[in-house]
Amino acid sequence: MRDDRVRLEDIVEAAEAIEKYAVRGRHAFDSDELVQTWIVRHLQIIGEAERGLSPAFRERYPDEIWTRAIGMRNIVVHRYFAMDPDAVWDAIERGVRQIKAKAQTIPSEVR
């Protein structure tokens, strides 16, 4: 079973994977199917990892950012063909950095 520490590592790794290609900009995201697929897949990983964080973790480290990432995961998984590229790009620009930073600030005994 994956514990909270491993899930936080998953979040950081997926955020870094997104950053690797997001640096190419919005045009690359809109025009390159492989970049879009890569980024969307890693948003899913972040959402899945956050969804799997234990209730004890959520109680100890409450933050709306966990819920927002799970919501984005649900959008890209369940409404893929109706996905709003603007919402996804907004998540990339603002949410990914916040999530990564939050996951990295959790004390090392959890991480």
Collect contacts of 69-76 with beta carbons under 8 A, ≥24 apart.
69/43, 69/95, 69/99, 71/47, 72/43, 72/46, 72/47, 73/43, 73/44, 73/46, 73/47, 73/48, 74/47, 76/40, 76/43, 76/44, 76/47
- Residue 61 has what DSSP assignment? S
**Residues with a known catalytic role:** 73, 78
Residue 56 CB contacts under 8 Å (≥ 6 apart), including other chains: none
